[in-house]
Amino acid sequence: MAKLPILTAPDPRLKRKSAPVERVDDEVRWLMDDMLETMYAAPGIGLAAPQVGVLKRVIVLDIEREGTSTGPIRMANPEIVDVSDEDATSEEGCLSVPEHYSDVERPARVTVRYLDRDGESRDLACEGLLAKCVQHEIDHLDGVLFIDRISALKRNIILRKLVKARKEKEREAAEDDAAAAPRSRRKV
């Protein structure tokens, strides 16, 4: 298993639509395992393949509920086949939108159809945090972030802060580099 770097907004790869997997083979299973390792290390409760730069319809989840976790859930080609009339609003965050949180309204319950790690089709009825998270992850596969589901005003404030934070990080890295380089290799 390997921990993978997580892309952050605004990255054009996070806005693309991911392609279905043709079949769940070893390569897809390795991807799922690497994504789980990356998710646990972050730490997060879900992760979608485009967040690690792979534009395939693969997601992983592990949600703690009343002290017990679902355990690792691996899904290929997940689709929502049923939604509740009732909506629920709660605060969401995203590893690709670090350090920003906002209320998002979504259907309270959904049924998801997906291929498991053996390529078998399964249906999973989800409610609560699991329903929230699985919808958040499927959104990623369609190039949609939770900030696309809040007001344009809030979205733009968050995006500006993310751009600023990235520039600061790049500047710090460049300074560290210059300090670490021997004199002869420094570009003034």
Residue closest to ligand GNR, measured at CB? 44
Q: Which is nearer to Ni ion, 73 or 94 (CB)?
A: 94
Which position among 94, 112, 115, 133 is part of the footprint of Ni ion (CB under 5 A)? 94
Closest contact distance (angstroms) between CB of 68 and Ni ion is 23
Could you tell me if 80 and 110 are in contact, meaning their C-beta atoms sit under 8 angstroms apart? yes
Residue 50 within binding range of ligand GNR, rule CB under 6 A: no
Interface with ligand GNR in residues 81-110 (CB under 6 A) = 92-96
Closest contact distance (angstroms) between CB of 116 and Ni ion is 22
Could you tell me if 54 and 14 are in contact, meaning their C-beta atoms sit under 8 angstroms apart? no
The rounded Cα 168 to chain-centroid distance in angstroms is: 23
Binds 107: which of ligand GNR, Ni ion, none (CB < 5-8 Å by kind) = none
Binds 56: which of ligand GNR, Ni ion, none (CB < 5-8 Å by kind) = none
Kindly determine how many residues on this chain lie close enough to bind ligand GNR according to the rule CB under 6 A. 16
Contact string (CB under 6 A) for ligand GNR, positions 130-149, x = contact? --xx--xx--x---------
Q: What one-character-per-residue DSSP string does 6-50 give?
A: PP-SS-GGGGSPPBPPSS--HHHHHHHHHHHHHHHHTT-SEEEGG
Whole-Å CA distances, 135 to 104, 173, 185: 11, 35, 50
Please count the other Cβ atoms lying within 10 Å of the Cβ belonging to residue 30: 12
Residue 9 within binding range of Ni ion, rule CB under 5 A: no
For 140-175, letters b (16+ CB in 10 Å) and e give: bbebbbbbebbeeeebeebbeebeeeeeeeeeeeee
Catalytic residue, candidates 92, 137, 170, 175: 137
Residue 34 within binding range of ligand GNR, rule CB under 6 A: no
Does the annotation count 175 as an active-site position? Answer: no
**List of residues contacting ligand GNR (CB under 6 A):** 44-48, 51, 92-96, 132-133, 136-137, 140
